[in-house]
Every structure is written in C-alpha cells, then in structure tokens.
Amino acid sequence: MTALSVVDYNSHPTIASIATPPGVGGLSVIRISGPKAHTVGQSISANPKRILKPRYALYTPIISPRGEEIDSGVITYFPSPDSYTGEDVIEVSCHGGNIISRQILDACFALGCEPAGPGEFTKRAFLNGKMDLLQAEAVAALIVANSSISKAANYRILSGRFSTIVNELRSILMDLVITLEAELDFTEDEITPLPTSEKVSLVSNVLSRVDSLLSTYSTGKMLTGGAVVVFVGEPNVGKSSLLNSILSEERTIVSNIPGTTRDAVEVPFLIKGFPVRFVDTAGLRDAADAVEQKGVHFSREYMNKADLLVYVSEAATDAVAPSPPNSDYLPKSSSLPVIHVLNKCDLLTNGRDRVAVDEHLFTSALTGDGITLLLETIHTRLVRSSVISEEIIITSGRHNDALRRVRSSLEITKKELDGGASTDALASDLRIAVSALDELLGVTTADDILDNIFSKFCIGK
C-alpha cells in the first residue's frame, strides 16, 4: 500500500516529455521534472552558467549538448516544492511542430533525463502531496471532457471540493471510532458514554450524504461516456431519416426499401451541452436474410445497454389514436426510459395535433417538424437539473465502488446500533468505512490501482 506523503524526489530520475499535442502548431512545451531539472535547463540555454531565476520567463536561444542552436524560446524554472510535481520543474516553450520539440527533447535525454511515462508528472504530484488521488484523477478526466458540463463537473473535483466532502465525512466517522474505542478503554465512571441516539444521528447523517453523492453517478457516467440514445422501431419508419434530420447531415443511408440499415451507426452529439451518443439501428422484424438478422441482433444488444430508447413508428394518416409499438421488440426492463415517436407526420391529412398525443411525439424528418421538441424531451428524460447543478457529480466507477462500500458499512453499523451490538463490533465496521474513504483520497491505495489510474493519462501530464 502507498501512503500519501512527501517523497524524497532526489531518489527519482529526472523525466522529460513534450506536454503539448503532436502536430503543427504555434507553440510546443517540453516539461522536465526531477533533481537534474535546473541543471538541464541551464545546459540548454545560451548561457549554461546562468542561474535560472524561479518563476522567471527567460527568452534565450536553446542549444544542444554539442552547442548547436536548435531554436529560440522561453525557459521557466519552478523550484521544489512550489511546482506542479513538487520537484524542480523546467518548462521550455518553443516554436511548434514535430521537429523542434523532438530535438529539444533529445537534448534533454542526452543530458541525463529519462522519458516520462503516461501521467508520470501528475503521479509525482500525488506522491509528493501536491494533490490527493481524487484531484489527480480529475486532471485526466478534465483533459478528455467532451462537453462543457463534463468539464465543469471534473473541474469541481480538481479544485478539491469533493476531497473536502470526503475529509469531512472521514473526520465525523473517525471521531466516532475514537469515542467508541475510548468507551472500551474506560469505565462509565471515568467517561460519559455517547448516547446511542447521538451515534445513530451521526451515522445517519453521513449515510444520507453518501447516498446523495451516489445518486449522481448515473448522470456522471453519461457525462463521461455520453448517454446512449438508441433509435429503434420496425423497418421503413424513418429512423435513419430522423437521425439525419437531427444531425443536419446525411450520416446514415436512407431508402424506401425495408431493411436498408444492416448495422448500428453511432454518432456523438450535444444537447444543451450534455453529451449523447445517438445510435441508428436495423429495423426490428423477423428477418429471413442472414445479414439483416445480424443487424437485428446488434439492435437488441444496443437496446440492452441504452440509457434511453427512442421508439419510432410511422404516423398513420387515418389513425384516431397512435398505434402502440410491438411490445415484443421492447426490452423487458421497466426502468429504461422510452420516448415514443410518430414519424412522417407531414403525411397526416386529418388535422390532428402534431405536437404530442398520448405521450407520443410527432416528427417529420422531411420538414423538421417536432425535431426541437424531440431533442428537448430527450434532454429532460436524461438530465435531472438538480443533479447537474450539484456541487459534486460522481463520474468514476472507482469512486462509486468506494462510496458503496462506505454505505454498506454504515448500514451495518446502523442496524448494529439498533440491535445493541458490542462497541468493538461498531468500531470495526466504522473503520471499514473510514478505510474506503482513505482509498478515495489515496491515503491508502494499492500500487497496482495507482499504476492502472495513471496509465490512462496522456504522456506529458
């Protein structure tokens, strides 16, 4: 297990990496961290004997170990411990492109630096106590955020707000553990035991706050990967045309021939800043063609992992009421939200309300009627505004798992308090909850878990 503490970074090799994306651009940044960082920064400057001033941007020619001028750029020195990693850090800003930054990086390697692994700068920041594990994970999540809402949710974690909550809950539980263990060590004549009602109140309060955090995870998962919105229905009802109309471009093949769509087509999209993944699927029917049967099989697989179904039917021109979809084609799960859409409403001739009838929405892929209302309905069914506006949204499976273990331990503790369990049993169960909170913060975390977390980072961060 690894404890969160300041590490002797002088025992670590000095690492270097390009911190900006590859390709042509106006600027590239090379980051260097470790005990040799200052020396390397001096060596690649035009005056190797110059002492680099902390946090001072020095514009200088940048030279190779052989004295060849590679480029002109800016070298900035951030001394330990006031740097991103907590070690001595040098950042070199040079002209963009692959060649210049690669040559400067090769110069750093020639001067004793080693290539940085994925996430190694942030891992060192964590090990040196510059941030806890929740904040470190948020760095990677922030970089890959695919919407402004996802970015905001992960930035709140990076800023330490989630850590503050976890530390508050840990403090409450740890104080209760200390109280319980004192009751074991001293007699009632020496200390006044905490009333059971107060113990129940403390545990209930923490349990309520944990439940509140856990309730955000379903939204958090959708923020991270995009909510899966699957368009399903029988053949030739206009599913592909409807998706093309939403996207304002032809992304799926449209034909009057039933069974044209054979494979699922997945397209990312944003609705009011909320990320979704629209999936157009093969028409649901008992297909005789082997290829189409495979497409229907894919449709059912997507339905089983959907966050929301849009069941599309054709608006009959003489219908008095919308015909119900074939229930054989719908998933058995009653918890999966379904929006029923009657498409091709441009063909209606009986003057019926084309906005919504019996919880069905009317749309026309041809004219665009009802598309805005459909998107608003999708957003409403997926997004609870109360969750999005919360201070913290749980976006990581690791966080969800740890909080569930906290919840389980607290529920056991609460039952034990009601049943008059022994004090040592109560303290033991509470310590399990505290341990799970420690794992969240990275106070006690297995090395293989740390390696897995930071391996998902990009190199240079």
What is the structure's pLDDT at 188?
61
CA 201 from centroid of its chain's CA atoms: 33
> Which domains, ranges and CATH numbers included, belong to the chain?
2-132 (3.30.1360.120), 146-216+393-441 (1.20.120.430), 225-387 (3.40.50.300)
Which of 116-125, 227-236, 382-391 has the lowest average pLDDT? Answer: 382-391
pLDDT at 214: 94
Quote the mean pLDDT of the chain: 83
With bands split at pLDDT 50, 70 and 90, how would you rate the model's confidence at 89? very high
Cα–chain center distance at 243: 26
The span from the CA of 72 to the CA of 32, in Å, is: 18
CA distance linking residue 285 with residue 292, whole number of Å: 9
- The pLDDT value given to residue 420: 79
Q: pTM for the whole thing?
A: 0.78
Task: Using the predicted structure, report yes or no on whether residue 284 has a pLDDT greater than 80.
Answer: no
Give me 287's structure tokens: 């297909």
Overall size of the chain counted in residues: 461
Q: State the Cα–Cα distance between residues 34 and 40, nearest whole angstrom.
A: 10
pLDDT of res. 146: 83
- Among 35-49, 245-259, 276-290, the range scoring the smallest mean pLDDT is 245-259
Cis peptide before 81 (omega within 30 of 0): yes
**Which pLDDT band holds residue 163 (cuts at 50, 70, 90)?**
very high
68: left (phi over 0), alpha (psi -120 to 50) or beta: beta
Q: Which residue has the higher pLDDT, 388 or 356?
A: 388
Looking at residue 433, what is its pLDDT?
94
When pLDDT is averaged across residues 183-208 and rounded to a whole number, the result is: 81
Whole-angstrom distance, CA of residue 396 vs CA of residue 149: 15
> Which tokens hold the place of 434?
């505290």
pLDDT at 1: 37
Range with the largest mean pLDDT of 77-81, 239-243, 446-450: 77-81
- Comparing CA positions, the residue from 232, 235, 251, 239 lying closest to residue 299 is 232
Predicted confidence at residue 126, as pLDDT, reads 92
Higher pLDDT pick, 344 / 291: 344
